[in-house]
Homo-oligomer: A and B are copies of this chain.
Amino acid sequence: MQIKSEHLKSFVSEIFKSVGLTQQNSEIVADSLVSANLRGVDSHGVTRIPIYVKRLRSGAVNPNPNVKIIEESDATLLLDGDNGMGQIVGTKAIELGVKKAKQNGAVYIGVKHSTHFGTGAYFIEQAIKYDLIAYAMSNAPSTMAPWGGFQPYFGTNPYAFGIPAGKNKPIIFDMATSVVARGKIISSEAKGEDIPLGWAIDKYGRPTTNAKEALEGSVLPFGGPKGYAISLMIDVMSGVLTGAGFGPHVNNIYGDFDKSQNVGHFFQLIDINRFMSPDQFKERVDMMIDEIKTAPKAEGVEEILLPGEIELNIEKDRLQNGINLGREVYESIKEVGLEVGVDIETYQTL
Contacts and interface: CB of A to CB of B under 8 A. Distances in A.
A222 interface: yes
A220 to B, nearest CB: 11
Given A223-B223, A246-B288, A288-B246, A149 B298 contact: yes
A241 interface: yes
Interface stretch (A41-49, A232-240, A250-258, A315-323): A232-240
Q: Name the prevailing secondary structure of the A interface residues.
A: mixed
A241 B281 contact: yes
Copies in the complex: 2
A99 interface: no
A247 to B, nearest CB: 6
A169 interface: no
Contacts of A145: 295, 298
A32 to B, nearest CB: 22
Interface string A274-311: 11100001001100100110011111110111111000
A65 interface: no
A272 interface: yes
A205 B297 contact: yes
A317 to B, nearest CB: 20
Contact of A229 (B78, B147, B175, B240): B175
Interface string A260-276: 00000000101110111
Nearest to A135: B233
Interface in A135-171: 145-151, 153, 161, 163, 171
Contact of A284 (B229, B240, B296): B240
A297 B246 CA distance: 20
A22 interface: no
Q: What range describes how many residues of A lie at the interface?
A: 35 or more
A71 B175 contact: no
A88 interface: no
- Of A228, A236, A275, which is in contact with the most chain B CB atoms at under 10 Å from its CB? A275
A240 to B, nearest CB: 5
A139 B297 CA distance: 23
A249 to B, nearest CB: 9
A243 interface: yes
Interface in A91-114: 101, 104-108, 110
A126 interface: no
A323 B172 CA distance: 45
Contacts of A299: 204-206
A119 to B, nearest CB: 15
Nearest to A231: B307
Contacts of A237: 133
B148 A305 contact: yes
A226 interface: yes
